[in-house]
Amino acid sequence: MSNKDIYILGIESSCDDTSASILKNSKVLSNVIANQNIHKKYGGVVPELASRAHLSNIIPVVDSALKESNVSINKLSAIAFTRGPGLMGSLIIGTEFAKGLGLSLNIPVIDVNHMQAHLLVHFIKNDLKKPLFPFLGVTISGGHTQFILVEDYFKMKILGQTLDDAIGEAFDKCGKKIGLGYPAGPEIDKLAKIGDELRFKFPLPRVKGGDISYSGTKTAFINFLHKEKNQNKNFINDNLNDICASIQKNLIDNLLSKIELLTIENNLNRIVLGGGVSANSYLKKKLDTESEKNNWEVFIPKLEYTTDNAAMIGIVGHLKYKESIESSLNTTPSPRLTF
């Protein structure tokens, strides 16, 4: 491998964000994200609408990423794309676009696992400290909640995961029940800031080992609201901040108890977060105090790299390109891709 600069175009289209990014080596030159507001009025992602929006967004988004980076398309070394996990219709758009462009430019395409990318995003060159291996990777998003033993860039093993809903999904579903828009996670976080987290108590699920569950909490929350509204029909409005703070505490405390268990069981003291929920401020606050107590080193991505973005796909493309790992043009999307 020569020490020539490597230029990667990263493409992300696994769910409802169309994103393209250009990286020069491990540095991000551009990271353009087109959010799909169309889903807001349905309170969740509508797969058919998501793939249609990717179709119209993909070329303008890639074009903007190239323009913003000032890199000519002919300079690209390879194109990295999300192969899975995600929505089939959405993944097809990014995968086929990447393959078509790769073929026309005569450069390799590299398939990327979206969940690995949420963790490897920490290896983008910036002013943050990079984690050393091994570490406990915690991917917390609207679609996933996984605990991963990461021994090297591509040596990852799932230690536990959700048995039902993802943590972000639990935030969104509980938020919907109290009239918040989609995605409700950031709004719950904001409203909880002036709420009393000890006001309402919800049971913590008892799941053995590294796995976690969120559907019971959601049901308990719905039943609680139902009961309270029978006594006071304005219950939600009258107590919104306290409700948000209390449910947020339950969802995050559940996660923290598993992190604690898995770090002890696997003798790990580095915790690396990835995915939209890593932006949660109560989680960050609790991790601060817990890391002092347990001697943890905690790594949280920059805000622009917590939610879905193509820079994280680009950095994995860069790491794989250096190892000469390429995909064949027969590669197809894999909605349930694991590792």
Which residues of this chain interact with Zn ion, rule CB under 5 A? 141, 308
142 binds, among ligand KG4, Zn ion, none (CB under 5 to 8 A by kind): ligand KG4
Which residues in the 295-324 window bind ligand KG4 by CB under 6 A? 307-308
Task: Please identify, among the stretches 36-44, 61-69, 129-137, 140-148, the one whose residues bind ligand KG4 according to the rule CB under 6 A.
Answer: 140-148
From 159, 277, 287, 312, residue interacting with ligand KG4 (rule: CB under 6 A)? 277
Q: Does 244 bind ligand KG4 (CB under 6 A)?
A: no
Q: Does 197 bind ligand KG4 (CB under 6 A)?
A: no
Token pair in block for residue 163: 């048995």
- Which is closer to ligand KG4, CB of 159 or CB of 184? 184
What DSSP line would sit under 315-339, residue for residue? HHHHHHHHTT--B-TT----TT---
277 binds, among ligand KG4, Zn ion, none (CB under 5 to 8 A by kind): ligand KG4
Backbone angles phi, psi at 72, to 5 degrees: -75, 145
Q: Does 168 bind ligand KG4 (CB under 6 A)?
A: yes
Judged on CB neighbours under 10 Å (0-12, 13-18, 19+), 230 is exposed
Angle between helices 167-177 and 215-231 (to 10 degrees): 10
- Which is closer to ligand KG4, CB of 6 or CB of 111? 111
Kindly provide the b/e burial profile for residues 292-329, where b requires at least 16 CB atoms within 10 angstroms of the residue's own CB: eeeebebbbbeeebbbbbbbbbbbbbbbbbeeeebbee
Q: Does 195 bind ligand KG4 (CB under 6 A)?
A: no
Token pair in block for residue 275: 């995915």
Q: Does 12 bind ligand KG4 (CB under 6 A)?
A: no
| Alpha helices (H) in the chain, listed in sequence order | 47-69, 88-105, 114-120, 167-177, 185-192, 215-231, 235-265, 281-294, 311-322
Task: Please identify, among the stretches 57-65, 127-135, 275-283, 314-322, the one whose residues bind ligand KG4 according to the rule CB under 6 A.
Answer: 275-283
Q: Does 337 bind ligand KG4 (CB under 6 A)?
A: no
Task: Please give the residue ranges that form the binding site for ligand KG4 (CB under 6 A).
Answer: 15, 141-143, 168, 171-172, 183-186, 189, 275-277, 279-280, 307-308
